[in-house]
Structure 1
């Protein structure tokens, strides 16, 4: 199991500038858990105003269709114990508990989100089905027993990790043999064949990372590091729905910051789903 570097828990201020597109196999200096926590403490209300309770940038027009897609993609069914690693305010967790008859452990760095999530869980009468707590997905084995989950979900959350390798090795530890790991997120497109755009590409991606407190990976290194612990691949695919972007734009308006890349964002980043299985 990988050792988590001390910098994963450090505060910003090292002076290191993160790369525009990360190699997911390497920890990123200059991008820290503390910054992500502050980002969500400060911007959760803007997320609620822009996205509603499901904080997903890649989405069809219908939230119900989005959640059915996620449930099908992660092969959820009744009786499973699920970890939602990076849970927001428990919008996905409560939907999955109601519609898929699963129990969900919901984890977020943000105390603001924990309090909002607990209110949502109580209001929907789901305290026996959904539990939410503050915690860092770099340190899952400090929070949960090994081999304790049937599914581990990263729903547009692992992009915030300082060290993908540490997170995925931790996910391996808490996932039961035969369990599935599902990732829904984005990756940065490869611009090596367009060197004339390299400078602008880097500038656009750095702005994305700054606005959203993440460092987007390339696809090849993402898949490589996901498979490294020993997971068996079921699929790597783009979501099979027509994406809409109004919630994303509404969120940026409420947050008061805009990405606004010079190159089309459809050329810069692409949504991806990955499903892998822990043998056993």
Structure 2
């Protein structure tokens, strides 16, 4: 299966309001690649100051425990060719390549992150294992051959997509038959049974999306669009660790812009991991 990659306008504004919680099966007008690129070019240092070199909001206190959890969840082992789609400054990429004998392609929209990532790769002596480049994960087949990766990882990155459907069909194309797609991200909780909170829920989610330059999906549409290309489901689960939130607060302090929802953030969003397989 394949999908035509979108051609997002190079503007960041739209007359159409961006929804507080997206239907992952639909592209979001007004939320464009150019805006995400500019956001990370401007705020990567704040992420480094707040989160360290691994930009993950859902995380245990130990970064080592986080990465072991991700490696186990994605079933990483020696001998794989891996794509980290939305790689940040290569914190996860260098950890994985430093702990496993594999080849890893790291992709980010931000030239600032590419330069920072290449410095980390070189400092850790991993140039023969990790390659970093600028690119849009809506257009993976413009960058990589079909059927070329054993694993495709979206580590809290697909939430930035304008069009989940296009991204996931592109991931299908570059993944080898028998390969695994692993997503670690968040989804927005369902507030339909609490109509008295609907206005506040929408306001809190819009503020989250504004501060972090993303649009959270609901879980049913997320799972639906992930399975649409033909992937076989291994699991949908919440991460099995106790999450800490100090990095969020540190980042927001350094960025000078706070989410500060009125409804508890634990009620608003939930971390999720999804693992699917492309049939052989």
Smaller-chain TM-score bracket? over 0.9
Q: Is the aligned partner of 1:213 residue 2:210?
A: no
Distance in structure 2 (CA, Å) of the matches to 1:9 and 1:173: 24
Distance in structure 2 (CA, Å) of the matches to 1:205 and 1:14: 18
Structure 1 residue 9 displacement after superposition: 4.4
CA contact (8 A) 2:6 2:138 kept: no
Q: Is the aligned partner of 1:124 residue 2:131?
A: no
Partner of 2:43: 43
Q: Is the aligned partner of 1:149 residue 2:168?
A: no
Partner of 2:182: 182
Distance in structure 1 (CA, Å) of the matches to 2:260 and 2:5: 34
TM-score under structure 2 length normalisation: 0.99
Partner of 2:166: 166
Partner of 1:65: 65
Provide structure 2 residue ranges, at least 5 long, that are not aligned to the other structure: none
Residues 200-239 of structure 1: pairs in structure 2 closer than 5 A: 200-239=200-239
Distance in structure 2 (CA, Å) of the matches to 1:234 and 1:100: 23
Structure 1 residue 88 displacement after superposition: 0.2
Distance in structure 2 (CA, Å) of the matches to 1:100 and 1:4: 32
Distance in structure 2 (CA, Å) of the matches to 1:68 and 1:204: 32
Q: Which runs of 4+ in 1 moved over 6 A?
A: none
- Please state whether the residue corresponding to 1:270 is helix, strand or coil: strand
Structure 1 residue 170 displacement after superposition: 0.1
Residues 80-95 of structure 1: pairs in structure 2 closer than 5 A: 80-95=80-95
Provide structure 1 residue ranges, at least 5 long, that are not aligned to the other structure: none
TM-score under structure 1 length normalisation: 0.99
Q: What do the CA deviations read for 1:198-244 (whole angstroms, capped 9, x no partner)? A: 00000000111111110000000000000000000000000000000
CA contact (8 A) 2:74 2:182 kept: yes
- Superposition RMSD on alpha carbons, in Å? 0.7
Structure 1 residue 17 displacement after superposition: 1.6
Aligned residues: 279
Partner of 1:5: 6
